[in-house]
Chains A and B, each alone.
Chain A
Amino acid sequence: MSGGAELGFTEHLFKVLVIGDHKVGKTSFVKRYVKNQFYEELKTTIGVDFSMKVIDWDSHTRVRLQLWDIAGQERLRGLNRVFFKRSSGALVVYDMTNGSTLDGALNWKHELDSQVMLKNGRPIPAVLLANKCDETKVCRRNASLLEKLCQEKGFIGWFQTSAKENINVDEAAKFLVKHILQNNEESVKEEEQNMQINLKQQSKSNSTCC
């Protein structure tokens, strides 16, 4: 997933899914995030809409995000499952003004976890987005409910967002990227450790051999 490290500069390429029921604002979220624009009228997504966002994370890290915005209709879900593979993270979106889409989001999360996982078997990082927050407000009770849901369902966190008013769009994405980068570092470390263990074992077996 990560590119070559030249002079201490690393470039990462991550595939991020944007999933959730239809009409919750997935495409609007992506357009806001990538182009900082909001469109009232967008064409329906059939299959997948692709976008790319390049983030200069810090002075020696660049992150290229491939955003896979996946069509939301229930019927097409089976079809789009094939697009889940090899993704590094997910934004799971629901519409705050439509309660049933939260159930939908949980279904999407379940589906996601059954399709992809990290090398160490843990679920890939997923952030729950309560979108269209400009149209309603999260009361305190809801907030604690979402907190609980996140823990139960294995989301790394939740944000209330508005693609229309540009609220928390960058923040939510940044939060996800941070976790993806952490996972990436950990898996690199784990691999190194595994390699060292292998080397040790090899040298041990070599020594007993001689």
Chain B
Amino acid sequence: MRIIYFYTFYFISSISPKKNVKRNLDFEPLSTTALILENRPANLPAKPEEEAQKHRQEYEEMVAQAKKRELKEAQKRRKQLEDRCKHEESIGNAALTWSQEILPNWQSMCSSKRVRDLWWQGLPPSVRGKVWSLAIGNELNITDELYNICLARAKEKWNAFVAPTAATETESEDAGLSHADREASLELIKLDISRTFPSLCIFQQGGPYHDVLHSILGAYTCYRPDVGYVQGMSFIAAVLILNMDTADAFIAFANLLNKPCQMAFYRVDHSLMLTYFAAFEVFFEENLPKLFAHFKNNSLSSDIYLIDWIFTLYSKSLPLDIACRVWDVFCRDGEEFLFRTALGILRLYEDILTHMDFIHIAQFLTRLPDYISAEEIFSSITNINMNSKNKKWAQVLQALQKGQDRGSPLLKH
């Protein structure tokens, strides 16, 4: 504090015309900091030697500390560089292991401990799409041809939409979708594409993946007219497109949305969604009791943040590289991991969140920080225990579902 005072004082005096500088310093001063050591201007009483000595000492200490800090930072930078090289090397090694060892023997190896451990560390980008495809599977038996048929039908509809006279024929074939609904769906896809990862500028009109994203979403509305297009889907399709070919992305997209949790959300099966939220809260309370109580006191229910996170599988809320790593393990562990990730995020920010009120928590969780360390978030997720009184996620969910059928009061909060 005092140093700052001296600094300002002498800075002011140094710009006065009566400047009288005697440089008797034994080292080269850097910038204005050294002004501290200058003698006082002639119009002020001279600095006693004792005080001058003290200031010199303080200044030298400051310089020494700055040097120490610089050295430390240089060391840190070197360490970071080393780490990055090591990391890149390990990615390179991992990519080889995945492509030469694991992928050719997928069925026999995919559930081994070694592969699962390697999987947790994140899939190398070069094999990511392939592993996702294999892990998501193709229960629906969708072929490239089926995709092309759906796409052709979607294109017919777009044309019919542009020229409404031709619309009458296709209209009767739509299962339960009114003209207005379909119109809204087409318009909404167009709009949402422009609002999907806008900062990447690759899905927007004129961008390289604009047509691909449009095709996949359009084809899906023809493949599943009963589900149609729901906001959030564009983010999922976009992440898949970034990692695989168009037809594979469509196959993965349709199969992914067909999983129970995703179907519950995208068909807006309200009671099933509430069951998921309730199951989440069971694990929330057990893993983070303090934060759970804090949220409860602030009437902050889990749907406020989970809707966004689950609908887009974190691709909208987490930085893309971390979202992809969440997808990696989601492909390995299934829906349970989505909720485990949610708890990992809450755990990571527990200290900040416990000091926030309702609106700030809601804002924070629906707009997570731009910079999140992958290491930190994954170590936080590791610490989340997905066993509740010896029951696993699926068992808790099932018990709640049964309870709900019997009208358990647990869900009526």
Contact = CB atoms under 8 A, between A and B. Distances in A.
Contact of A44 (B181, B231, B358, B359): B231
B363 A47 contact: no
Interface string B64-89: 00000000000000000000000000
A82 B303 contact: yes
A121 interface: no
Contact of A48 (B196, B232, B358, B362): B362
Contacts of A23: 187-188, 191
Contacts of A22: 188, 191, 231
B344 to A, nearest CB: 20
Interface stretch (B91-99, B247-255, B305-313, B373-381): B305-313
Contacts of B305: 47
B359 A76 contact: no
Given A23-B191, A51-B363, A82-B303, A46 B232 contact: yes
B270 interface: yes
B13 interface: no
A83 B234 CA distance: 24
Nearest to B192: A44
Given A44-B231, A44-B232, A52 B196 contact: no
A42 B198 contact: yes
Interface in B192-209: 192, 194-198, 204
A46 B188 contact: no
Q: Which of A45, A46, A52, A71 has the most CB of B within 10 A?
A: A46
Given A44-B196, A78-B268, A50 B191 contact: no
Contacts of A52: 359-360, 363
The secondary-structure label for the interface of chain B is helix
A41 interface: yes
B268 A79 contact: yes
B352 to A, nearest CB: 16
Contact of B194 (A41, A46, A49, A83): A41
* Residues of A contacting B: mostly: mixed
A73 interface: yes
B358 A78 contact: no
Q: How large, as a class, is the contact surface on chain A?
A: 20 to 34
B243 interface: no
A22 B232 CA distance: 13
Contact of B312 (A46, A48, A51, A79): A46
Interface in A52-90: 52, 66, 71, 73-76, 78-79, 82-83
Contact of B195 (A42, A78, A82): A42
Contact of A46 (B231, B358, B359): B231
A122 B168 CA distance: 45
Given A76-B231, A78-B268, A78-B270, A46 B303 contact: no
B319 to A, nearest CB: 13
A46 B198 contact: no
Given A43-B316, A52-B359, A74 B184 contact: yes
A138 B228 CA distance: 35
Contacts of B232: 44, 46
B308 A66 contact: no
Nearest to B230: A75
Interface of B: 181, 184, 187-188, 191-192, 194-198, 204, 228, 230-232, 234-235, 268, 270, 273, 303-305, 307-308, 311-312, 316, 358-360, 362-363, 366-367
Given A43-B197, A78-B268, 7 more contacts: A22-B188, A41-B204, A47-B304, A52-B359, A74-B181, A76-B230, A78-B270
27 contacts: A23-B188, A41-B195, A41-B204, A43-B196, A43-B197, A44-B196, A44-B234, A44-B235, A44-B316, A45-B231, A46-B316, A47-B307, A47-B308, A47-B311, A48-B366, A52-B359, A66-B358, A71-B231, A73-B188, A73-B230, A75-B228, A76-B230, A76-B268, A79-B268, A79-B273, A79-B307, A82-B303
